Amino acid sequence: MSSIRQEKQISPSEKNTMAGILDSYPEYQTTAVLDKLRKTEYSYLDEQDHLYLDYTGAGLAAKVQYRHHQARLTNQLFSNPHSLNPTSEASTILVEKARARVLDYFNASPEEYTVIFTQNATGAARLVGEAYPFKRNQKFLLTFDNHNSINGIREFASRGHARTVYIPGQASDLRVDPAVLVSALTSRWDWRRATALPCRCKRGLFAYPAQSNFSGVRHPLEWISLAQKCGYDVLLDAAAYLPTKKLDLSDKNLKPEFLIVSWYKLFGYPTGVGCLIARRDAIARLSRPWFSGGTVQAVTVGIRKHFMAEDGTAFEDGTPNFLSIPDVHFGIDWLSHIDMSVIDTRVRCLTGWFLDRMKRLRHSDGAPMIHIYGPRDTKSRGGTVAFNFLDAKGKVVDERLVASESAAVGISLRTGCFCNPGGGENAFGLDTQSLRPLWRFSKSISVDDYIRIVGLPSAGAIRVSFGLASTAADVDRFIDFAEKTYGDRVTPTEGFPPREHC
Catalytic residue among 201, 349, 417, 419: 419
Rounded-to-integer distance, Cα 89 and Cα 78, Å: 8
Rounded-to-integer distance, Cα 304 and Cα 294, Å: 18
The four Cα atoms 377, 378, 384, 390 give a dihedral, to 10 degrees, of: 10
H, E, C per residue of 483-502? HHHHCCCCCCCCCCCCCCCC
Q: Which helix (H) or strand (E) holds 184?
A: helix 178-185
> How would DSSP label each residue in 61-104?
--HHHHHHHHHHHHH-----SSS-SHHHHHHHHHHHHHHHHHHH
Q: Which residues fall within 8 angstroms of residue 363, CB to CB, at 6 or more apart?
A: 369, 392, 487, 488
Which among 265, 255, 261, 264 is positioned nearest to 275, based on CA atoms? Answer: 261
The four Cα atoms 295, 300, 301, 302 give a dihedral, to 10 degrees, of: -170
Question: Is residue 417 annotated as a catalytic residue, yes or no?
Answer: no
> Quick one: angle between helices 32-39 and 325-338, nearest 10?
130
Q: Which residues fall within 8 angstroms of residue 443, CB to CB, at 6 or more apart?
A: none
Q: What are phi and psi of 55, to 5 degrees?
A: -70, -25
Rounded-to-integer distance, Cα 352 and Cα 334, Å: 26
Count of beta carbons in the 10 Å neighbourhood of residue 280: 15
Find out whether 32 and 447 touch, Cβ atoms under 8 Å: no
Angle at 208 between CA 205 and CA 214, to 5 degrees: 150
Rounded-to-integer distance, Cα 435 and Cα 430, Å: 7
> How would DSSP label each residue in 429-449?
T--HHHHGGGGGS-S---HHH
Question: What's the one-letter identity of residue 43?
Answer: S
Q: Which residues fall within 8 angstroms of residue 72, CB to CB, at 6 or more apart?
A: 326
Rounded-to-integer distance, Cα 12 and Cα 26, Å: 19
Give me the active site residues, please: 419
